[in-house]
Amino acid sequence: MLKEFKKFILRGNVVDLAVAVVIGAAFTAVVNALVKDFLTPLIAGVQGTKSFAEYSVTLHGVKFLYGDFINVLISFLLTAGVVFFLVVQPLNHLSELSKRSKKTEDPTTRKCPACLSEVNSKATRCMFCTSHLDAAK
């Protein structure tokens, strides 16, 4: 059982997924720090307040921190934008290029006009009904 587990863990796609999760978490931390330490203080400075994250509304004694929610929303949008423009778009472009470069092969068979069977495209006589076929086109 341990050998099977080792084989599963050392598969390429499992290791790739683990690396992607770790790098994604680190990238998210960088984006969160950018938003928390740079963008929201900039927004708060424009509005003349100390901390944008502390913006809140109190309703029936309950405090709703909408400033913190906006911080998280900005972080999400930045992360999603970077992933889209730096990962998804280039991969889509590469996929499109690889589809363009593939050649379509000429068909190797054709239909016999007499019996409609599939015969080799170079054949001069049908192997099913023995009728004569036109020369290969």
Whether residues 20 and 60 fall in one domain: yes
Whether residues 44 and 58 fall in one domain: yes
Q: How many CB atoms lie within 10 A of CB 52?
A: 22
Give the number of C-alpha atoms closer than 13 A to the C-alpha of residue 59, restricted to the C-beta side. Answer: 5
Global pTM value: 0.54
Whether residues 82 and 132 fall in one domain: no
Contact 120, 109 (CB under 8 A): yes
Per-residue pLDDT of the chain (137 residues; tens, 9 = 90+): 888 877 777 776 777 788 788 888 898 899 888 888 888 888 778 877 777 777 889 999 998 888 888 888 888 888 888 888 988 898 889 888 877 776 667 778 899 988 989 998 888 888 889 888 887 55
Q: Which two structure tokens, joined as six digits, stand for 99?
A: 């589809």
Question: Structurally, how many domains does the chain consist of?
Answer: 2
Distance CA 79, CA 87 (A): 11
Query: In Å, what is the CA distance from 35 to each residue of 3, 45, 52?
Result: 45, 14, 11
